[in-house]
Amino acid sequence: MAFDFLNDLGKKAQAVAAVAADKAKDAAELARINMSIASEQREIDKNFRAIGEWYVSEFSGEIPPAVKDLVDAVSASKAKIAELEASKPVKEEASETAQPANKACPICGTSSDSKFCPQCGAPMGE
C-alpha cells in the first residue's frame, strides 16, 4: 500500500517535471524569437536612419515642408551634441614626476616604463 502511494507520487512528480521542462523550452523559444525580432527591428531602424541621412544630404536645399521640422530638429540636436562635446572638461596631463621613468630591459635592452618587457616578457626590475 505504501509502495503504491510512493509509486504514484513518483509518477506525478515525473509528469510535473515534464510539464515544467516543456514550459521552460517554450519560454526559451519565445525569448529566442523575441530577441530575433528585436534584432531585425534594430536593423530596420538602422536602415531607415541611413535612408534619412542620405535624403537630407542629397536634397539639403530642397527639403519638403512635411519633413523640414524633423530635419531642423535633427540639426538642432547635432548642434547641441557638438556644444556638449566642447564643454567636456579637458583632462590635465599628469606631471612629469608622476610618470615612471623608462627602464632598460636587463635581457634584451628594450626601453619601457612597464613592469615587464614588451619585447621579451622579462621582469623590468625596480
Q: Tens digit of pLDDT for each residue in 55-71? A: 888 877 788 888 888 88
Helix (H, G, I), strand (E, B) or coil at 116: strand
Per-residue pLDDT at 42: 94
- Band (pLDDT 50/70/90 cuts) for residue 76 is very high
Q: How far is CA 84 from CA 73, 74, 78, 90, 115, in A?
A: 16, 15, 10, 13, 38
Q: Model's pTM, two decimal places?
A: 0.46
CA pair distance 5, 55, nearest whole angstrom: 74
| pLDDT over threshold 80, residue 14 | yes
Contacts of 120 (CB under 8 A, 6+ apart): 105, 107, 108, 110
Cβ contact 106:98 at 8 Å: no
AA identity, residue 115:
K
| pLDDT over threshold 60, residue 99 | no
Per residue in 79-97, pLDDT (tens digit) is 999 999 988 888 765 544 5
* Domain definitions of the chain by residue range: 2-62
